[in-house]
Amino acid sequence: MPIRRLLQGSKLDADEMEILTRAFNHALHSLSLIDRRDDPLADLVARKVIEIGATVVRDPAEISKMAIKQLGLSPE
């Protein structure tokens, strides 16, 4: 899972990591993507979710929605 790899060694607490993981999974589901380590699009989504999660937004669904919008992707 790209998000776990990217979060490895971060200073985030368990709750913050859970929020970002849920947001990432929600975004993948919304985009009908499969979580694969070698998928550059899943990696891009993970990075955007982490970037947005560094702001004050804490709702996984909202983080997911913002990531999809900022990446210019639309759910199928």
Q: What are 26-43's pLDDT values in tens digits?
A: 999 999 888 777 889 999
Q: What share of the chain is helix, strand, coil (3-state, %, to 5)?
A: 65, 0, 35
How buried is residue 24: exposed, middle or buried, by Cβ count under 10 Å (0-12/13-18/19+)?
buried
Q: What is the pTM of this model?
A: 0.90
Q: Using alpha carbons, select from 57, 12, 58, 48 the residue that is nearest to residue 27.
A: 48
Query: Could you read off the pLDDT of 16-27 as tens digits, one per residue?
Result: 999 999 999 999
Amino acid (1-letter code) at residue 11: K
Rounded CA gap, 58 and 74, in Å?
22
